Amino acid sequence: MDLKKKVSIAVIRRLPRYYRYLADLLKMDITRISSKELSNRMGITASQIRQDLNCFGGFGQQGYGYNVELLYKEIGNILGVNDKFCTIIIGAGNMGQALANYSNFESRGFSLKAIFDIDPELVGKKIKGIEILHMDALEEFIKSNKVDIAMLCVPYEYTPELADKVARLGVKGLWNFSPMDLKLPYDVVIENVHLSDSLMVLGYKLSEKLKNK
Amino acid sequence: MDLKKKVSIAVIRRLPRYYRYLADLLKMDITRISSKELSNRMGITASQIRQDLNCFGGFGQQGYGYNVELLYKEIGNILGVNDKFCTIIIGAGNMGQALANYSNFESRGFSLKAIFDIDPELVGKKIKGIEILHMDALEEFIKSNKVDIAMLCVPYEYTPELADKVARLGVKGLWNFSPMDLKLPYDVVIENVHLSDSLMVLGYKLSEKLKNK
């Protein structure tokens, strides 16, 4: 079923959330759910849900609701959960180690192949069975292994140069944790994680709440 | 200037990004910028920028552009950068330690007051001069100190109960790192960080790219 073309990036950004909720429903042995019920759980309108899920064809049936397992699988397919991406982490500081220990990446199709750092105290250690290699081995590793995604967890000032190097070596996906919108003159996909942006939005909402007391 | 009422949450979510770009411009001693120029840097349309920034009144002048410092300050005010929020981190694993070491939170108005964990190997250690306290001390700490925001970095299964406890003790802002949409029956502000959602969107875009080759 090649329905992806019709789906906007705004809908795509909501899909992982549906995927999470559907996984929870499966765990609870719930096999079907109405858009109304899903709406109550997720806190978004039933009409938004119907509109989003209609993009992928007929999973919902009037009076029956959605088949949870079918919908879960199809959203997984669309998101590429079965594509098995090979990933590496560059920078084994706290953030890099946190990502290496994240247990739900593997089940979502992201397989960690190597971790790199320059710190001699870290190099040679293992996280979840995966050895931390020296940065000097990075180029050779990328050249001789399939690496789809590099997770960049190095300090801010090193990020642009490192990202450039990794992209030139042929890595097509970059997950950036430095507080910058990484841009590269290559044909790569970049997803930036901006933790301080999220914290500032929390701060804003909190200010508003305290002022309206 | 009380213009906040008019501003939608969609605009608010974009403000930290403006704030970052304006900070970079200030560092480069750029004192004014046109919406066109800002648009080129940020990769969003000039009309979107004008529309967003018009929410806060007359910072842009036809033929002059925006006063960078003024706009930076005003966006900071709106986001509550000067409100000085007191924060605590609960869970001093890798993610908690990564947050404790994040240097740009302080400059954005978030002041870390304490870190909590149950691990005897961690309790008593210091991160950036802040001691890791035992979880047993949490309740007393919140009761006798101003705590605006709790950053929750404990394992998934402990998060709901901990969030409930912290909220009942009067903490009004929760920053959640567990892959769940935290919901509480109290009047609190919750901001969820979903790292695996971000990674899945990257995976999706990468699948698309590889298929269209």
Which of B55-64, B104-113, B142-151 is most confident?
Answer: B142-151
pLDDT of residue B101: 92
Estimate to the nearest angstrom the gap between the alpha carbon of A135 and the chain centroid: 24
Coil, helix or strand for A13? Answer: helix
Question: CATH 1.10.10.10 in chain B, residues?
Answer: 4-81
Confidence of residue B6 (pLDDT cuts 50, 70, 90): low
A15 touches A78 (CB < 8 A)? yes
Q: Do B203 and A80 touch (CB under 8 A)?
A: yes
Contact B137/A at CB under 8 A: no
Which residue(s) pair with A132 in the sheet? A115
Interface of A with B in 93-132 (CB under 8 A): 93-95, 97-99, 101-102, 104-105, 108-110
Burial A11-28 (b: 16+ CB within 10 A, else e): bbebbbbbbbbbbebeee
* Closest-CA residue of chain B to A204: B79
pLDDT of residue B130: 95
pLDDT of residue B58: 56
The DSSP element (H or E) to which A71 belongs, if any, is helix A68-79
Q: How far apart are CA A144 and CA A139, in angstroms?
A: 9
Q: Do A204 and B15 touch (CB under 8 A)?
A: yes
Contact A209/B at CB under 8 A: yes
pLDDT of residue B59: 63
DSSP-assigned letter for residue B173: E
Q: Do B108 and A203 touch (CB under 8 A)?
A: yes
Task: Count CB atoms within 10 A of the CB of residue A29.
Answer: 7
pLDDT of residue B1: 42
- Positions in chain A short of pLDDT 50: 1-4
Q: How far apart are CA A8 and CA B158, in angstroms?
A: 36
**B-chain residues within 8 Å CB-CB of A199?**
105, 108, 110, 149, 175, 191
A100 touches A115 (CB < 8 A)? yes
pLDDT of residue A157: 93
Question: CATH 1.10.10.10 in chain A, residues?
Answer: 4-79
Q: How far is A140 from chain B (nearest CA, A)?
A: 23
Question: CATH 3.40.50.720 in chain B, residues?
Answer: 84-197
Classify domain A4-79 by CATH number: 1.10.10.10
Residue, of A115 and B209, whose pLDDT is higher: A115
The closest CB to that of B201, out of A4, A12, A42, belongs to: A12
Contact B203/A at CB under 8 A: yes
Location of structure tokens 């690496």: A147
The closest CB to that of A108, out of B19, B183, B200, belongs to: B200
Residue to mutate among B22, B112, B156, B204, with most A CBs inside 10 A, is B204
A172 touches A189 (CB < 8 A)? yes
Q: Which residues, in sequence order, are CB contacts of B192 under 8 Å at separation 6+? A: B176, B180, B181, B182
Read off the tokens for A24. 């929870």
Predicted confidence (pLDDT) at residue B187 exceeds the cutoff of 60: yes
Q: Do B200 and A16 touch (CB under 8 A)?
A: yes
Predicted confidence (pLDDT) at residue B213 exceeds the cutoff of 70: no
Read off the tokens for B8. 């939608």
Q: Do B99 and A173 touch (CB under 8 A)?
A: no
B15 touches B78 (CB < 8 A)? yes
Classify domain B4-81 by CATH number: 1.10.10.10
Q: How far is A108 from chain B (nearest CA, A)?
A: 8
**Maximum pairwise Cα distance, chain B:** 62
pLDDT of residue A212: 75
Read off the tokens for A45. 């309108």
Q: How far apart are CA B109 and CA B73, in angstroms?
A: 13
* Closest-CA residue of chain A to B178: A102
Q: Which amino acid is at A53?
A: L
The closest CB to that of A199, out of B105, B194, B206, belongs to: B105
Contact A175/B at CB under 8 A: yes
Distances (CA, A) of A50 to A29, A60, A67, B103, B177: 22, 8, 13, 43, 28
What is the layout of strands, in order, in the sheet containing B130-134?
Answer: B126-127, B130-134, B110-117, B85-90, B149-152, B173-176, B189-192
Contact A179/B at CB under 8 A: yes
**Over chain B, what is the mean pLDDT?**
90
Contact B144/A at CB under 8 A: no
pLDDT of residue A58: 56
**A-chain residues within 8 Å CB-CB of B97?**
94
**What does the pLDDT average to over B99-127?**
93
A111 touches A149 (CB < 8 A)? no
Predicted confidence (pLDDT) at residue B210 exceeds the cutoff of 90: no
pLDDT of residue B151: 98
Predicted confidence (pLDDT) at residue B154 exceeds the cutoff of 90: yes
Q: Do B205 and A198 touch (CB under 8 A)?
A: no
List the alpha helices (DSSP H) in chain B.
Answer: 9-27, 35-42, 46-54, 68-79, 94-101, 104-107, 138-144, 159-168, 195-211
**B-chain residues within 8 Å CB-CB of A101?**
93-94
CATH topology of domain B84-197: Rossmann fold (3.40.50)
